[in-house]
Amino acid sequence: MCWTDCRNSHTEETRHSKVEEKARIELTLKVSSLGFWRLAPFLTVRAISAFDDNVVLTELTERTQMKNPTPNDSNALEKPSHLQKAFLTAGAVLFGVCLAANSVSAQTQPRGVAYAAPKGGWKYFFGGDKDKAGDDGTGFASLDGTWNHDNGSDLWDGSKIGGPLSPSPTFGGGNAPGGVMSITEDGVTFLRMQDPGDPRNYGFPDNFSNRKIYFGHDITADGAPDTLLDDGVTLTFRARIPTPTKTKAPLDQLHLSGGTTAKAYPAAGDGYLVSDGGKANVGIAQLGGGLISFALTVPDDNFDDSVAGGAKASFSGLTMNQLNENFVTAAVNFDSPGQFRGVALDPTDWHEYWLTIKADPTGVGTHVVGIYLDGSSQATTNVVVTAGNGNDFAGVGFLAIGGSRTAESWALDLDFVAFTVGAEAPPQSTEPPKFGSVVRQADKIVLTWTGGGTLQSAAEVTGAWTDVAGLASPATITISDPRRFYRIKK
């Protein structure tokens, strides 16, 4: 048995079993202003603390044996104010929560690829590092040279995001608000797409207004069967909604439908809601008919920016086609009848999604979607959905990215997207489990982690530890005790 993020401690590893090693863990957190850590030898502590709105990551390795340090001991670690959580790496990754803690998201940097490729590899993989602007009429010639934006759901002007704004009657000749560009931050290159709303009222006329941006990739040419969704497909992508506090790259002001004054990009991010027969940020369609798509959504996303007080999402996470009938239909959108489908998480953090899709054997809907997150080989959920009839690319099955609705503004950072034939569960992760974002929501916390494993809980850091049954990342937990500790066992 391996406990999360465990490291060899030279002779300690050979002298103690894992059970003995676990029993040696000693960590005391005192919450006074002169608080300190008391550490057993050979332990590494990662402490994440919040100063106002900033998140500070401090990693310290214990070098000497300190059994009873005093607050004046020069070898003692002073606890920063408002300390949120600690990760203990000598047998477990550890997180402690107190009711007095403020909300904090620890994951401010991309984590990299959490899943290995499936056996046989991907049929197609786009890495987000290409942003070629293929002119209208050039077909599948954009981004990496295999994507088509010349369709009824796209009015991209060919520009990147940021810079002085200028309209143009020709593709690539101006710079309307929003756009598409590859960006490198924190060592990761990804594609950023931004639809600022409807800039037509602001002096940026069609056909190059950026009021909708939608790309399609021909998967029939990749060898996808005509009944791909029915037979089974695996789709993966890694993405987030950009926010000003988590990126330094440009985001343009919003130019919303029906308005005339630009507004600041939202501090909480600008997500999307499924629309237009099942179109959203990432989707896949079979040639035989049927589109299933996925969107990253924040609570203030408005399904119709042009309507004051229009329907808001009131949900944070991954959303997808509704369940509404057991045949392909247009009525699978956010405002359609039927059952809402979503997975709660913080979409402004990077998350890696592994999705399996196949025909619904029960006949309740059209397809079953298995959702795996951030390296976990355990499905977060399996949901039945209804495929939509949205189709901008006649004669082919397609992979789609972007957003098609004029009345919705949105922005998306896409690290990669890929698919392969066959609905395959992800391979068992070899990555050690690691906590990602931790978000406080009233009397609840939402924990995310990578690398799989089982969430465990204890009232004290020394145990006893028990499995938290039925929860995979992201896990929503009601805080019912003054303090509680969590770790991942693998």
- Positions in the chain short of pLDDT 70: 1-112, 309, 429-431, 470
Helices (H) and strands (E) in the chain, counts: 3, 27
Indicate the class that CATH gives domain 115-428.
mainly beta
Q: Are strands 410-421 and 434-441 parallel, antiparallel or unpaired?
A: unpaired
Contact between 330 and 387 (Cβ < 8 Å): no
Q: Is 362 within 8 Å of 384 (Cβ atoms)?
A: yes
282-305: b or e for each residue (b if 16 or more CB lie within 10 Å)?
Answer: bbbbbbebbbbbbbbbbeebbbbb
Domain ranges of the chain: 11-107+452-489, 115-428
The predicted pLDDT at position 200 comes to 95
- Helix, strand, coil shares, percent, the chain, to 5: 5, 35, 60
Alpha carbons 329 and 277: distance in angstroms, whole number? 7
- Over the stretch 421-459, which tens digit does the pLDDT of each residue have? 999 999 876 667 778 777 777 788 888 777 777 888 888
Q: Considering only the C-alpha atoms of the chain, give the largest distance between any 2 of them, rounded to a whole number of Å.
A: 74
Q: What is the pLDDT of residue 225?
A: 98
304-347 pLDDT, tens digit each: 887 776 789 999 999 999 999 999 999 999 999 999 999 999 99
Burial grade of 276 (CB within 10 A; 0-12, 13-18, 19 or more): buried
pLDDT of residue 306: 79
- Lookup result for tokens 């490291």: 7
The answer to whether residues 269 and 241 touch, using CB atoms and an 8 Å cutoff, is: yes
**Residue 19: per-residue pLDDT:** 33
Residues 488 and 106: their CA atoms lie apart, in Å, by 16
**Confidence (pLDDT) at 55:** 27
Please answer whether residues 299 and 316 qualify as being in contact, where contact means their C-beta atoms are separated by less than 8 angstroms: yes
pLDDT score for 148:
97
Assess contact for 67 and 27: CB atoms under 8 A.
no
Hey, CA dihedral for 274, 279, 284, 285, is it positive or negative?
Answer: positive
